[in-house]
Amino acid sequence: MHLNPSTLSESELYKLMSGAVSPRPIAWVSTVSKKGLFNLAPFSFFTVASSKPPMLCISIGSGEGDRNGIPKDTLTNIRDTYEFVVNFVPYNLIQEMEKSSKNYDPCIDEFIVAGVNKLKSTIVNPPGVKESPIQFECKLENIIPLGKDHLVIGKVVHICVQNESYQNGKLDLIKLQPVGRLAGNYTHIQNIFTL
Ligand SMILES: Cc1cc2nc3c(=O)[nH]c(=O)nc-3n(C[C@H](O)[C@H](O)[C@H](O)COP(=O)(O)O)c2cc1C
């Protein structure tokens, strides 16, 4: 089957691309607004943008639909403060992560809604998620508007990794149990193999 993207609707393209580009890791992003309000939300349009200098990127969608065109709080906060933390999502925090994904008013602290604690960051102002085994503290490098979405690139300025998951320079992914996003469902690592 050959498909011309220009003939597909936004929702058809979203379903096709998010299904085909899977499993995707999930960045659980914490930010603070310029008024000092805490925010936490997951983003699976997420990857490593560069390893040296270390950079991560997330794509933040438009604030359409029930948001009436108001940008997502994460984008607003990063635009205003130039800082964010990417927290790793292990399988045991999937419920908490999902709870933090709803469209809450900016004054709602999703750490509280999700039932997770704040971990004071070392360099940036936004706290990380204490229960998460890895926190990447990021300073904004660039925001690139792409259509209705925004690609946010952050330079990693500090990394906090749980001791028992990082030995001899290697992450123990069986211990870490990363969760992947499929189209709308999730997966987690149960089988690691070598070629
Ligand atoms: C697993 C998961 C992955 C998500 N990935 C994205 C994403 O990559 N980009 C995006 O704009 N929204 C994504 N969302 C939706 C946002 O998390 C959601 O819009 C959230 O309310 C944004 O919060 P904020 O307004 O506090 O920034 C995802 C939701 C879930 C549950």
Q: How far is the CA of 193 from the centre of ligand 1 (A)?
A: 31
**Size (the chain), residues:** 195
Please identify, by atom number, the ligand 1 atom nearest to the C-alpha of residue 72.
25
- pLDDT tens by residue, 125-142: 999 999 999 999 999 999
Q: Is the N-terminal amide bond of 5 cis, ω within 30° of 0? A: no
Measure the CA–CA gap between 92 and 104, rounded to whole angstroms.
23
Domains of the chain and CATH, by start: 24-185 (2.30.110.10)
- pLDDT tens by residue, 101-127: 999 999 999 999 999 999 999 999 999
* CA-closest candidate to residue 11, choices 192, 191, 185, 183: 183
* CA-closest candidate to residue 78, choices 57, 97, 96: 57
Q: Could you tell me the pTM of the whole model?
A: 0.97
Is residue 104 exposed (0-12), middle (13-18) or buried (19+ Cβ within 10 Å)? middle
Q: Would you state the structure tokens that stand for residue 67, as one six-digit string?
A: 């948001």
Q: Would you state the structure tokens that stand for residue 29, as one six-digit string?
A: 């992003």
Q: How far is the CA of 168 from the centre of ligand 1 (A)?
A: 34
